[in-house]
Structure 1
Amino acid sequence: MATKIEIITIGDEILQGQIVDTNSAWMAQQLLQFHLSVVQITTIADRQEAIVEAFEQAQTRAEVVLVTGGLGPTKDDITKKTAAEYFGTSLVRDQKVLEHVRSIFSKRNREMPAINEMQADVFSDGEVLFNAVGTAPGLWFKHKDVVFIFMPGVPFEMKYIMSEHVLPRLSERTSTGFIENRYILTAGVGESHLATSIADIEAELPEHIRLAYLPKLGIVRLRLTGTGSDASVLNKELEEFAQRIKTRVDDAFVSFGNVEMESALLSQMASRKLTLATAESCTGGNIAARITSVPGSGDVYKGSIISYANEIKMNLLSVSETDLAAYGPVSEPVVKAMAIGARTALNVDYAVATSGLAGPDGGTEDLPVGTIWIAVASPKGVLARLFHFHNDRAINIERATTNSLLLLWEVVRDQNSTV
């Protein structure tokens, strides 16, 4: 029987949206590699009553509880003190940890504040998980047959303790069963239409295989999750269902694997030795940022021209002053000229261009905010498409960025039958 694991993240800053909890996602991904699954993820405030309540509930549904956050030296970091009271134990100062904390300040030529000594306080009858990359150690404590593991909320410190101390020990709890996933990335079709098109395949899934729909702007990622005692048999089943879904969705299929659209697109272009550039106006470099976030993107992507001003469109992209005057910068002739200009100036196979009104100001009755033109220039010509978004500036930019990638994918797919 699989070990039940719960993750508890502690911090007002997470609840208030000041930071995003990436720790839980990373931990769940690592645990899955050892066929260990998470049954619950909980985020709570830096409050004694919230921590106690979370511990009480976790005791009823998990065998291992991973806790991050609240191990700092300031008054709002109350996790250790609250946990010690809850466990009925005490905190003692660990001299090895204290010397380590002092050495960190010494290496930085800084005097250590007295409050940092508290970071060396550990459970008197627990285990210390030494943190070589930070000041707060991890802690391992067993309470009523449930293992509680405490780690710092700082991501790189948490990852160090998980990798060096926690995962090696938890891997010993791996059950004889296996958990495997298959991902199918689709684009250009909505979640409901996708579900309708593969309803019969989904109905044929055995009880040990589940299908999840993971929609994002412009794409839907499908995840097949299977459990079984024989990994080879399970993988064969998952592969068969994944291939059936791929065949069914046809042109909407982008890629197998848990990847983002830009990663799948760049991989496909790299396999064809195709090159890419961008010319961005209203998106202001956001497309370039998405593309260059992918490791190895330089094999395909050659650069960008951020042509926010009309003079840049004319001087660097060879957009004619006549077209700008006659049609305006937010128009089909101009965005096509931008794409052609970028393809020529940067000497690439494909170029994507955007021009529009992201908002919140600048719109008119004839040209409202959210009007976006996108064009893709290719060896076979240039294709432009008009979009009307009705959101705030940030969302309009994100929608324009995603639809630029989708239009590029569509053009590349249609021009390269093996892509």
Structure 2
Amino acid sequence: MVKAGIITIGDELLIGQVIDTNSAWIAQELNKAGIPVVRRVAVGDAWDEIWTALDEESKHADIILITGGLGPTADDITKPLLCKYFNGNMIVDKGALENVEHIFKNILKRPMIERNIKQAEVPDTCTVVLNKRGTAPGMIFKKDGKIFISMPGVPHEMKGMMTDDVIALLQKEFTTSHIAHRTLLTAGVGESFLAELIKDFEEALPANIKLAYLPNYGMVRLRLSSIGIDKNTVDHEIDTQFAVLQTLVKDFLVTNEDEPLEKVVGKLLLSKNKTMCTAESCTGGYIAHLITAIPGSSKFYDGSIVSYSYKAKEDLLGVNRSTLETLGAVSDEVVIEMAKGALQNIQSDYTIAVSGIMGPDGGMPDKPVGTVWIAVGNTQKLTVEKFQFRFDRQRNIQLTAASALNLLRKFIIEN
């Protein structure tokens, strides 16, 4: 079975200045193409480190995909290193040069300098992959039955190269497998409880099917994975096991698709031809952000009122000053009034209202950091629930959003 390894290059990755999204995206695309990734490694802009990574990855994988270090500046050392690694001499590739000239003349509309022309230089031991979105060409090398593909580190350019050329080339070069995943999402149950609940199922799984637990923000995804040559056989086996798994966790099942909670809520609203809105205090619009990140969310989402201060809660949502002064902003009555105000002002079918103390400061003996009140409902009925989270500010915000969306999901289903 063919296997792939990924090397991402750049000091910025190692100091945390830039998050390595390239290797994650490449792994996803290779998975879809039936090529499992066995290793991913990030190295800095250091000759010895890159050289060692090439040696190491070629021991474990048949395909080594490399991103980064192909720019025109002095710290971009990938191309000269590959030239030496594969015993080549640097030449100007005609097609790559024409591509650079086209970009500067017709797109950037500015003159080229010598440094730009050097982008068209490649080792004579490689096959060039034209970069339709930038100036740095991709390069393909072969050595000892292994294939090495170097691509730009700029995500937009790398993705274009992968989509237009690399995936098709790999599928032509190698016999690939069929990789199948089935994922469901649960809520209201911990990872350890789930593991105990499905212990017998997990122990009885065929050797070719793996179960993974993916906990995140009060929810747990369960993923079954399998790989094989025959697509029909692989899909039939994994679908059979996935049906059993769904039955076992039915009391906690949110969705049997690999999708976020906000999308589940959106699909539920669309199925009922209803809309929602949000009234946010402690989350500062984060719930609205999650929802509006979904393409087409305007069909089920009307808007948000972010009311952080007492005055904003009064002026924008009609919360009574006496309620705020007597009970405080973090209380059941305040989120009820926030929810009613949002429904009245925005005219949605459903709403979410949240107020809490995210930290690290602001906690009180009776309302410690992480205290959150959430109200969900419609003009006929509201459900209110108190939560107590115990993490840092960002995670408390994320947990509040997830809890609020799940509370609304259950309310819509039950009412």
TM-score (norm 1): 0.94
1:246-265 Cα shifts (integer Å, max 9, x gaps): 11112210112221111122
What is the CA–CA distance in structure 1 between the aligned matches of 2:325 and 2:69, rounded to whole Å? Answer: 59
C-alpha contact (below 8 Å) 1:34/1:174 kept by paired residues = no
**Secondary structure at the counterpart of residue 274 of structure 2:** coil
Alignment of 1:18-417 (within 5 A): 18-106=17-105, 107-173=107-173, 175=175, 177-378=177-378, 380-415=380-415
What is the CA–CA distance in structure 2 between the aligned matches of 1:132 and 1:149, rounded to whole Å? Answer: 16
What is the CA–CA distance in structure 1 between the aligned matches of 2:304 and 2:202, rounded to whole Å? Answer: 43
Q: Which amino acid aligns with 2:33?
A: F
What is the CA–CA distance in structure 2 between the aligned matches of 1:150 and 1:123, rounded to whole Å? Answer: 12
What is the CA–CA distance in structure 2 between the aligned matches of 1:7 and 1:176, rounded to whole Å? Answer: 17
What is the CA–CA distance in structure 1 between the aligned matches of 2:189 and 2:172, rounded to whole Å? Answer: 43
**Secondary structure at the counterpart of residue 373 of structure 2:** strand
Partner of 2:16: 17
C-alpha contact (below 8 Å) 2:83/2:125 kept by paired residues = no
Structure 1 residue 379 displacement after superposition:
5.2
What is the CA–CA distance in structure 2 between the aligned matches of 1:342 and 1:113, rounded to whole Å? Answer: 58
In structure 2, relative to structure 1, the CA distance for the partners of 1:77 and 1:176 (3 Å cut) is closer
C-alpha contact (below 8 Å) 1:35/1:175 kept by paired residues = no
C-alpha contact (below 8 Å) 2:349/2:379 kept by paired residues = yes
**Secondary structure at the counterpart of residue 67 of structure 1:** strand
What is the CA–CA distance in structure 1 between the aligned matches of 2:390 and 2:223, rounded to whole Å? Answer: 31
What is the CA–CA distance in structure 1 between the aligned matches of 2:185 and 2:128, rounded to whole Å? Answer: 42
What is the CA–CA distance in structure 2 between the aligned matches of 1:401 and 1:17, rounded to whole Å? Answer: 26
Structure 1 residue 272 displacement after superposition:
2.1
Identical columns (%): 43
TM-score (norm 2): 0.95
What is the CA–CA distance in structure 2 between the aligned matches of 1:240 and 1:99, rounded to whole Å? Answer: 54
Between 1:98-107 and 1:268-277, the stretch displaced more is: 98-107
Structure 1 residue 174 displacement after superposition:
5.1
Between 1:154-163 and 1:117-126, the stretch displaced more is: 117-126
The root-mean-square deviation of aligned C-alpha atoms, in Å, is 1.7
1:144-191 Cα shifts (integer Å, max 9, x gaps): 221110000111100111111111111124537422111111112111
In structure 2, relative to structure 1, the CA distance for the partners of 1:357 and 1:177 (3 Å cut) is closer
Q: Which amino acid aligns with 2:231?
A: A
C-alpha contact (below 8 Å) 1:4/1:64 kept by paired residues = yes
1:24-67 Cα shifts (integer Å, max 9, x gaps): 12112212222111111111111101101101111211111100
Q: Which amino acid aligns with 2:255?
A: S
In structure 2, relative to structure 1, the CA distance for the partners of 1:363 and 1:176 (3 Å cut) is closer
Structure 1 gaps of 5+ residues are none
What is the CA–CA distance in structure 2 between the aligned matches of 1:176 and 1:103, rounded to whole Å? Answer: 36
1:219-265 Cα shifts (integer Å, max 9, x gaps): 11111112234322332222222121111112210112221111122
Q: Which amino acid aligns with 1:10?
A: I
Between 1:114-123 and 1:193-202, the stretch displaced more is: 114-123
